[in-house]
């Protein structure tokens, strides 16, 4: 870190410092010229103290009950032909009830659009956590 400080704040010996800027009095009339900005010389600005704090937390979530539909998805080729011999059975969630540190919550899922290669085998099946 010492090398970084040398780059940011190089050591300047007193005998080679430039003289402080001269103070110019403002002009009396605004029509006579632009604004003049003056300074009071060079001085170091230092941040004597700095700190940072970070905190994160994750609440524990436990699933209590879920409601889902049992569906069968058939294979569909690029031309739109459905192959009923090749399929996958799955459970599509419709709602979940969870317990959190803030109390119970119900999570609802949107109904997907109806497509021709999906067949609903059983609706609103409920499973409780054991």
Write the pLDDT tens digit of every residue in 36-94: 677 766 666 676 778 888 988 777 889 999 999 999 999 999 998 999 999 999 999 99
Tokens representing residue 107 in the block = 């999570």
> Is there a domain that residue 86 lies in?
yes
Average pLDDT over every residue of 91-106: 91
Structural domain containing residue 82: 62-128
95 vs 18: which has the higher pLDDT: 95
> Is there a domain that residue 45 lies in?
no
The reported pLDDT for the residue numbered 72 is 96
> Is there a domain that residue 103 lies in?
yes
> Is there a domain that residue 80 lies in?
yes
27 CB-near residues (< 8 Å, 6+ apart): 33, 36
The reported pLDDT for the residue numbered 64 is 94
Average pLDDT over every residue of 14-26: 71
> Is there a domain that residue 18 lies in?
no
Number of domains in the chain: 1
> Is there a domain that residue 11 lies in?
no
């Amino acid at each position: 870190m010492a090398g970084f400080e040398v780059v940011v704040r190089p050591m300047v010996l007193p005998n080679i410092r430039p003289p402080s800027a001269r103070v110019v009095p403002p002009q009396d009339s605004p029509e006579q010229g632009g604004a003049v900005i003056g300074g009071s010389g060079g001085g170091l600005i230092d941040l004597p103290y700095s700190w940072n704090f970070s905190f994160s937390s994750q609440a524990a979530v436990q699933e209590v009950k879920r409601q889902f539909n049992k569906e069968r998805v058939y294979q569909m080729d690029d031309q739109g032909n459905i192959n009923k011999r090749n399929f996958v059975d799955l459970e599509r969630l419709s709602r979940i009830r969870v317990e959190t540190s803030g109390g119970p919550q119900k999570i609802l899922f949107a109904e997907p659009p109806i497509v021709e290669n999906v067949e609903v085998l059983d609706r609103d099946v409920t499973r409780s956590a054991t």
